[in-house]
Amino acid sequence: MINLETPRKFRAFVNQAHQVAAEMLRPNSRQYDLAEHAYPKELDMLAAMVDGLGASGTGSGAGASGVRRTEAADDDGKVKNGSNLSSVLSIMEMCWGDVGLLLSMPRQGLGNSAIASVASDEQLRRFEGFWAGMAITEPGCGSDSAGIRTTARLDGDHYVIDGEKIFVTAGGRCDAVVVWATLDRSLGRAAIKSFVVFKDTPGMTVERLEHKLGIRSSDTATIRFENCRVPAENLLGSAEIDADKGFAGVMQTFDNTRPLVAAMAVGCARASLEVTRELLADAGVEIDYDRPVHLQTAAAASYLQMEADWEAAYLLTLQAAWLADNSQPNSLQASMAKAKAGRVGNDITLRCVELAGSLGYSEHHLLEKWARDSKILDIFEGTQQIQQLIVARRLLGKTSAELK
């Protein structure tokens, strides 16, 4: 049975993550939001510290641990609190500090989660220590990952990749990108595989960095692949095309990263709630948990509703991570967590701006920045609409062909 308390073995690590967020991320938040595309040099020291915690066994990084389905629950039947739960808890704390700076941390990219989730043991050792971005989205393919047009053609002991990827987080700074490509367009989803492509590979070009509404401290790149030759051993997982489960290995990445994105939204929303409560208290607005909502001020009633929505998102996120740690299917819960947290996170941060009035809209506080940052958390790793569609398919037992 899931325990909703933070596991004792994670408490020190979570406290450390909060301390880092309070003393390093939040104080630098506004600086790197204004200096878009400038690399936050302070993160080098932080990344080294996170690597040290992971090596010592006292921490699991900020999201690069991955869902390892080969890990089974303990033979004695005891529940397991592992790297997935540790990651979402630490991400909540870090994004309480700043979402964009978390996404800018070396060796903690979404591509690292993809490698950790589906790579073989040999690949895990070979790619250890590299910073990997994730290259999925294309100009004509967004949330429908099955519509990928980038191709990978086997030529001897290399795959030749051709195509274009957009909105690659950390695409300009990372050491490598995990590229999703199809081995045969005519075979649909089953032929989609992921490849680790290092930045110095001939034929791979970073075309430009995007200017964005939020997470401005994180670079977002467009990358082109033209006759880009990648060693065959850089294909993650099996090269075999299986019509029944060929796409499942790639989609397993999402079972990991969607709870991580949900955790980002939960952390960012919590920051907004805390600051807004302080501002309401300064304005004389009392939030009384012992009185019915209809007997309180409109501002207090709105705040209580936001807290309830936040609590639901938080619990769904914990559930998705806990299931993964205990080798139970979590695709439904991962999408539910991502859908709920992405929506309410964006809703909460915007409503906090409204409740704070001119203070919320100005740069006196970070409320307006958190509202801008939170929007992407409802979009990337599968939009709100796609998550709801996935949830509906799971609950109704429909395939993607039966329910579009």
Do the bridges between strand 176-182 and strand 132-135 make them parallel or antiparallel, or are there none, so unpaired? parallel
Terminal C-alpha separation, the chain: 35
Which residue blocks in 39-147 are alpha helix, DSSP H?
42-56, 83-97, 99-103, 110-118, 121-126
402 assigned to some structural domain: no
| pLDDT-derived band at 133, boundaries 50, 70, 90 | very high
Q: Determine the Cα–Cα distance for residues 403 and 395; give it in Å rounded to an integer.
A: 11
Q: Greater confidence, 115 or 152?
A: 152
What is the number of other CB atoms lying within 10 angstroms of the CB of residue 218?
A: 27
What CATH number is given to the structural domain containing 372?
A: 1.20.140.10
Predicted confidence at residue 274, as pLDDT, reads 98
Please check whether residue 220 is in contact with residue 134, taking contact to mean a CB–CB distance below 8 angstroms: no
pLDDT tens-digit series, residues 181-226: 999 988 888 899 999 999 999 999 999 999 999 999 999 999 999 9
241 assigned to some structural domain: no
Structure tokens at 107: 């060796």
On whether both 226 and 193 belong to a single domain, the answer is yes
On whether both 272 and 223 belong to a single domain, the answer is no
| pLDDT-derived band at 57, boundaries 50, 70, 90 | low
On whether both 297 and 227 belong to a single domain, the answer is no
pLDDT tens-digit series, residues 310-331: 999 999 999 999 998 888 999 9
- Whole-model pTM: value is 0.92
Predicted confidence at residue 46, as pLDDT, reads 86
Q: Last residue of a domain, which of 202, 234, 266? A: 234
Q: Last residue of a domain, which of 182, 209, 234? A: 234
Q: Determine the Cα–Cα distance for residues 94 and 224; give it in Å rounded to an integer.
A: 32
Range of the domain at 56: 8-123
Tell me the torsion sign for CA atoms 262, 346, 28, 211: positive
On whether both 281 and 374 belong to a single domain, the answer is yes
Q: Last residue of a domain, which of 90, 123, 156? A: 123
Pick the catalytic residue from 93, 138, 164, 381. 381
pLDDT tens-digit series, residues 253-284: 788 889 999 999 999 999 999 999 999 999 99
> Letter for the amino acid at 269?
A
Give the chain's domain count.
3
DSSP three-state, residue 340: helix
What mean pLDDT value characterizes the chain? Answer: 90
For the chain, what percent of residues have pLDDT higher than 90? 72
Please indicate whether residue 381 is annotated as part of the active site.
Answer: yes
